Amino acid sequence: MKILITGANGLLGQKLIALLRTKDGVEVIATSRGSCRINGLSEAAYHQLDVTDKAAVNKVFDDLKPDVVIHTAAMTQVDDCELNQPECRLLNIDAVSNVVTGCKSVKAHLVHLSTDFIFDGSEGPLTEEATANPINFYGETKQKAEQLIINSGISWSIARTILVYGIVPGLSRSNIILWVKESLENNKTINVVDDQWRTPTLAEDLAQGCWLIAKNMVTGVFNISGKDMLTPYDMAMLVANYFELNHKLISRANSSTFSQPAKRPPKTGFVIDKAINNLGYQPHSFAQGIEIIAGQLG
């Protein structure tokens, strides 16, 4: 089975590469903008690809003829999406259209990554059947991309996820565990919201969920997230306790006290029974996720 990954230089992309390279009978094709940042990957397995370039997508797909495409490339910084809407639309909708066209030409199954931000946050945790109603531009583009895929006529799956955290060498973007740990180690007081609820997702778990979808080529929407419903304040306290840091430096905050360009849904979180029962998906707890990252930090 040939599996092509877009956005392979990113957090999920690198976790997918590491996982798929352990699977017998799987040929991994890594694609991303810019040069390869993936440790231990041969030049032959990596191809520079800008998914906003339709001709380039078509050429790579036609040349390599993947059986499955896992599309992780996207603009995901929510505030940047709100402030740079043309760029967000290009990366999150137009690029998806290009990937769909490429999949159609080679009859590849598409696994597309989506988000809890397609929901308004009025209730949670949510099943796959919940009605989308985005309240920011990022969520709007991701919902439109889902609809584009569903109506495309290709073989498809959508993996919705929430607040992905993890580390890979050379990736500059932080996550809540590293942010809390580094802040408290530097004796810095932090304000952390306690009125938003999520089911945070370890990057390794998301990679596993995508693999389970890809190898079975199952059609439909799957919630792939963690299983613990937590606020960011809850997460910060768990981090402080694990690393034995001063939790008194953590202050509860109301989200209304933060000035951000994009609105955040107050309460999402996913019901993951479908992925557990149909795919055998088994995510780690958030406490286990902290332990895994601690081990990776050495």
pLDDT tens per residue across span 126-158: 999 999 999 999 999 999 999 999 999 999 999
pLDDT for position 55: 98
Q: Is the peptide bond before 125 cis (omega within 30 degrees of 0)?
A: yes
- Measured over the CA atoms of residue 65, residue 66, residue 67 and residue 71, the dihedral's sign is negative
pTM for the model stands at: 0.98
In the CATH scheme, what architecture does the domain 2-167+200-227+269-284 have?
3-Layer(aba) Sandwich (3.40)
Strands 2-6 and 68-71: parallel
Q: Spell out the domain ranges in the chain.
A: 2-167+200-227+269-284
* Separation between Cα atoms, residue 24 and residue 27, nearest integer Å: 9
Task: Note the residue count of the chain.
Answer: 298
30 residue type, one letter: A
CB 184 within 8 A of CB 235: no
Q: What is the pLDDT of residue 185?
A: 98
> Could you give the percent of the chain with pLDDT greater than 90?
95
What one-character DSSP code corresponds to residue 51?
T
User: Which pLDDT value is given to residue 172?
Assistant: 67
Residue 42: the pLDDT is 86
Cα-only R_g, the chain: 19
What is the b/e burial string over 210-233, where b = at least 16 CB atoms within 10 angstroms of the residue's CB? bbbbbbebbeebbbbbbbbbbbbb
Residues of the chain with pLDDT under 70: 172
- Quote the DSSP letter at residue 108: P
Q: Is 103 helix (H, G, I), strand (E, B) or coil?
A: helix
